[in-house]
């Protein structure tokens, strides 16, 4: 059976064949444990890990390769960053600032800390999905120890003003963390220029393997210290104990190396595809609304509400033709309305009609044209069956 067109690249990406090729030796002959330094199996594995660490360092503009701490993914990195700062610096303050539209791994970590005596401020966003810098400034208190703002959003693709936020955090001597899982490898990203002390990233959002991520921890000017979540053999500078996943780390490094080389050209190509999709849909269908800023947005993201069509019915009708999503794939409950779209002020009816298209490296113009054709067919069919849409047409005629 022919597979559907894959347009869910914010959920996960296909492993690039070049990444898989780089990983294979470390699943076969190069199987050593990097902690075993008394023989060549271990030293070769250790060398591969450090080479990958350096590739990720270069992609994000970190000062040192040692600033990169390997984890199981961005969810673990977010937990380590937020809890690590909160628990170590509690004597300094117990106030954390984040946003209403963070990934669940940030929101739930903050809720955990709130239950343990921390004060959390959740910044609202405007109708485009951007925070207001003035709101951030007003939220800062003398006991504020951490600001955590998502870099690029997983549902609506909106990119926050990270440099501005970093400058504010620096001026107030507050730690600044970002969940950069969706930003890495897709937009220019330099931790030094952004004023970040902490940044969470993941390989599987950028054509690397699942189950491997990293946390950038600035070690100089200023040094950032954390309480670890895991204890054991002291790997990763004592911040993340456990035997390193060498094949996945090698894959992450290769994915970072590829992304650094083609970031600009790939972003331009994907943007053209996205605009082809957006214009194609809006020119052939009425009552189509883009959610979130088009100006400040990842090139591969398009979140659209199709009025008078229920999103679940649309997904069911498309399932054999196009793989898309109604929201975050990292939330276990697929039926829960998007809290992100609600924060933007999108109506409940429109939230239930929203579809997220995630375009990526392996999508083609033909796939986009086929998707437009399928979408138009399905939306028109579902609307013909909708009494609400029929009423809407009659009201407009009047």
In terms of Cβ atoms closer than 10 Å to its own Cβ (0-12, 13-18, 19+), residue 376 is middle
Token reading at 89: 């610096």
Token reading at 46: 């250790």
Cross-strand pairs, 122: 98
Token reading at 82: 């937020």
List the strands of the sheet with 288-290, edge to edge.
Answer: 288-290, 301-306, 354-358
Token reading at 137: 């400034």
Decide if 330 is catalytic. yes
State the helix-helix crossing angle for 40-60 and 246-284, rounded to 10 degrees.
Answer: 30
CA dihedral 199, 207, 14, 251 (to 10 degrees): -100
Token reading at 386: 């909708």
Out of 65, 88, 227, 330, the active site residue is 330
| Measured distance CA(167)–CA(152) in Å, rounded | 18
Neighbours of 334 (CB within 10 A): 12
Closest CA to 25 of 362, 254, 261, 258: 254
Q: CA 377 → CA 182, 321, 326, 384, distances in Å? A: 31, 12, 19, 11
3-state secondary structure of 306: strand
Active site residues: 330
């Amino acid at each position: 059976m022919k597979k559907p067109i894959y347009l869910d690249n914010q959920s996960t990406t296909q492993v690039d064949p070049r990444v898989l090729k780089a990983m294979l030796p470390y699943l076969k002959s190069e199987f050593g444990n990097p902690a075993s330094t008394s023989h060549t199996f271990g030293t070769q594995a250790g060398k591969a890990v450090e080479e990958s660490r350096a590739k990720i360092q270069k992609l994000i503009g970190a000062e040192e390769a040692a600033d990169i701490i390997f984890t199981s993914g961005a969810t673990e990195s977010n937990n380590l960053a937020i809890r690590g700062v909160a628990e170590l610096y509690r004597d300094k303050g117990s106030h954390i600032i984040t946003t209403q539209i963070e990934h669940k791994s940030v929101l739930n970590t903050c809720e955990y800390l709130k239950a343990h005596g921390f004060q959390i401020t959740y910044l609202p966003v405007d109708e485009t999905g951007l925070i207001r810098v003035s709101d951030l400034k007003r939220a800062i208190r003398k006991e504020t120890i951490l600001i955590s703002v998502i870099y690029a959003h997983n549902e609506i693709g909106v990119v926050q003003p990270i440099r501005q936020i970093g400058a504010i955090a620096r001026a107030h001597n507050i730690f600044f963390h970002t969940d950069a899982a969706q930003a890495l490898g897709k937009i220019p990203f330099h931790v030094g220029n952004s004023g970040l002390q902490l940044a969470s990233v993941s390989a599987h959002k950028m054509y690397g393997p699942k189950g491997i991520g990293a946390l950038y921890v600035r070690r100089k000017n200023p040094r950032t210290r954390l309480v670890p979540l895991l204890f054991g053999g002291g790997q990763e500078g004592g911040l993340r104990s456990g035997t390193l996943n060498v094949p996945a780390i090698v894959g992450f490094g290769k994915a970072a190396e590829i992304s650094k080389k083609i970031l600009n050209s790939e972003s331009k190509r994907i943007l053209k595809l996205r605009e082809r999709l957006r214009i194609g849909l809006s020119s052939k269908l009425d009552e189509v609304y883009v959610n979130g800023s088009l100006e400040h947005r990842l090139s591969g993201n398009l979140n659209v509400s199709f009025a008078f069509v229920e999103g679940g019915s649309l997904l069911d009708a498309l399932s054999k033709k196009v793989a898309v999503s109604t929201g975050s794939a990292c939330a276990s409950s697929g039926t829960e309305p998007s809290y992100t779209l609600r924060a933007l002020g999108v109506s409940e009816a429109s939230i239930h009609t929203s579809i997220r298209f995630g375009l990526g490296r392996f999508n083609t113009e033909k796939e986009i044209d086929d998707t437009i054709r399928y979408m138009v067919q399905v939306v028109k069919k579902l609307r013909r069956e909708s009494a609400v849409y029929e009423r809407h047409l009659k009201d407009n005629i009047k």
